[in-house]
Amino acid sequence: MPNSVKRNITLFLTGKLTAVLGSSIYGFAIGLFILEETGSSLNFSITLLVSVLPRIVLAPIAGTLSDRWDRKKIIIISDFACSIWLLFIFIIFTSFYQQIWLLFLATFILSSLNTFYSTAVTSAIPNMVGLEYIQKAMSLNQAAVSISTILGPVLGGVLFGFTSISTFMVLNIIAFTISGIASIFINYQLFAKEKEETKQKNFIAEFKIGFAYVKQEAFIKNLIFLAVFLNFWFAIFPVALPYLVLTIRGMESYQLGIIEGAFSIGMLVMSVILAQIREIKNKKRSVFGGLFGLSSMLILLGIPNLPGLSELSNTFYFPFLIILVILLSAFIMIINMPVMVLLQKNTPDNYRGRVMSLVETGATCMTPLGFIVFGFLLESLPVWLLLLICGGSIIIIALHSLKNKQFMHQLNRTINDDYIAAEG
């Protein structure tokens, strides 16, 4: 690997790990603080909602902006804007108003700024490391996120017991600042080709052009539809797991924490493995094999509630659920990584921000609806049946995609184009 690429990746991971870990610790502490102060699960849900909504609503706008502006400037401005905004909230919260709505507002703005940051970063990765090292960079990026997801709640829980919420704000301010400084020294144009001139078009026109490009690209369009339905059915997992573990099986809360933590561990392990491989060769087998594996894990998660098997001890089901969750998250990586690599390598640089943001929007827009629907259904249907329905639906979607001649033709063409470009 060239030294220039190593330098970029090292700086990138330093900034990303610092920022995501700081945000993870802060987000965990904010949730605990709101629950402790209000005793309301509704207020806690509002915190989750205001952190998710900006990603759904603003991602297409952020993608368009990423294709029009210098991505490095967007990344640096977003980092320092988060730092300055949180400093402002810190001053107001500690000196004037200690109101919960202020924390909701802080979370909403931080999530909005992070949407622009993450879109610009994702779009800039090919230019930062080159086509040859996209999978390595994206795998290491996911590894940094997974480490932060594991350590964030642990460190947040430890610190929360003997420090104030303002301390968490200061830690996150420092984290965003470090990330911004690291980004200053990254060469985001190391492998960039000259963009087509688009300044004569206004923002709205560019926004519409992005939609038109996705609409005419059958592979991307079908991929977004696939992501919409997959993420709706997968929304059963974060809703059903706590209900299964705590309410039905009667396990301890720390056991739920370990089982949920296993999800990030699976992501981390698979990210490290994929980072050692230059690129997955058989992408089609990886994607569809991962889909069948994912659906199988969802179905097997219902076994602790299955009539005839529910009498088995939690001593057996606790490690059983840990293993299933680790495998489930590993299958997600096996699905996502080749798809993201294909998108990155086969999307022109001047469209990449809009394409990646629209794919992300499609992947997340149905998740809130899934939370509501499955949360309601869990009150009247057994968990094992819902997990069977959702896992079976994903299998049906995978089989339908395999039989969709247009989608498979476009997938094969995209993979072939990728090989031709690599050989060239």
Same domain, 85 and 10: yes
Say what the pLDDT of residue 424 is.
46
Residue type, 280: I
Same domain, 260 and 170: no
- Average confidence score pLDDT of the chain: 82
Examine the fold and report which residue of 133, 164, 193 is the final residue of a domain before the chain moves on: 193
Domain hosting 80: range is 1-193
Same domain, 184 and 228: no
Pick from 180, 211, 13: nearest CA to 87: 180
Task: Quote the CA–CA distance of 285 and 135 in Å, as a whole number.
Answer: 17
Residue type, 362: G
The token duo for 258 is 């370990």
Same domain, 242 and 298: yes
CB neighbours (10 Å) of residue 399? 13
- Whether residue 407 contacts residue 288, with contact meaning beta carbons closer than 8 Å, is answered with no
Mean pLDDT (whole number) for 399-409 = 76
**Would you tell me the crossing angle of helices 100-129 and 314-346 to the nearest 10 degrees?**
50
Quick check: is 207 in a domain?
A: no
Torsion of CA 285, 290, 295, 297, to 10 degrees: 130
The CA-to-CA distance between both ends of the chain, in Å, stands at 19
- Whether residue 326 contacts residue 269, with contact meaning beta carbons closer than 8 Å, is answered with yes
* CB-count exposure of residue 161 (10 Å: 0-12, 13-18, 19+): exposed
pLDDT digits (tens, 9 = 90+) for 102-155: 888 888 999 899 889 988 888 888 888 887 888 888 888 888 888 887 787 778
Residues in the chain: 424
User: What pTM was estimated for this model as a whole?
Assistant: 0.75
Which residues 6+ apart lie within 8 Å of 14 measured at CB? 178, 182
Say what the pLDDT of residue 327 is.
94
- Whether residue 328 contacts residue 297, with contact meaning beta carbons closer than 8 Å, is answered with yes
What value does the CA radius of gyration of the chain take, rounded to a whole number of Å?
Answer: 22
C-alpha triplet 104, 105, 107: angle, nearest 5°:
65
Quick check: is 387 in a domain?
A: yes
Quick check: is 203 in a domain?
A: no
Same domain, 162 and 233: no
Using pLDDT thresholds of 50, 70 and 90, give the confidence band for residue 260.
confident
**Residue 399 phi, psi (nearest 5):** -65, -40
Task: Quote the CA–CA distance of 116 and 59 in Å, as a whole number.
Answer: 7
Quick check: is 226 in a domain?
A: yes
Using pLDDT thresholds of 50, 70 and 90, give the confidence band for residue 420.
very low
The token duo for 168 is 């968490």
Examine the fold and report which residue of 193, 224, 246 is the final residue of a domain before the chain moves on: 193
- Whether residue 207 contacts residue 60, with contact meaning beta carbons closer than 8 Å, is answered with yes
Which residues 6+ apart lie within 8 Å of 176 measured at CB? 19, 22, 79, 80, 82, 83, 86
324 or 206: which leads in pLDDT: 324
Same domain, 95 and 125: yes
Same domain, 139 and 282: no
Same domain, 15 and 158: yes
CATH number of the domain within which 89 lies: 1.20.1250.20
**Complete DSSP assignment for 230-262:** HHHHHTHHHHHHHIIIIIIS---HHHHHHHHHH
Mean pLDDT (whole number) for 245-255 = 80
Contacts of residues 87-96 at CB distance under 8 Å and 24 or more positions apart, as own/partner, are 87/173, 89/169, 90/166, 90/169, 90/170, 90/173, 93/165, 93/166, 93/169, 94/166
Same domain, 412 and 282: yes
The token duo for 255 is 């056991």
Q: Is the pLDDT of residue 49 over 80?
A: no
Task: Quote the CA–CA distance of 340 and 360 in Å, as a whole number.
Answer: 11
Question: Structurally, how many domains does the chain consist of?
Answer: 2
- Whether residue 337 contacts residue 285, with contact meaning beta carbons closer than 8 Å, is answered with no
Same domain, 239 and 368: yes
DSSP code of residue 404: -
Quick check: is 375 in a domain?
A: yes
Same domain, 249 and 173: no
380 or 109: which leads in pLDDT: 109
Quick check: is 206 in a domain?
A: no
Examine the fold and report which residue of 164, 193, 222 is the final residue of a domain before the chain moves on: 193
Same domain, 289 and 179: no
Quick check: is 198 in a domain?
A: no
Average the pLDDT over each of 19-33, 40-54, 201-215 and give the range with the smallest value: 40-54
Quick check: is 202 in a domain?
A: no
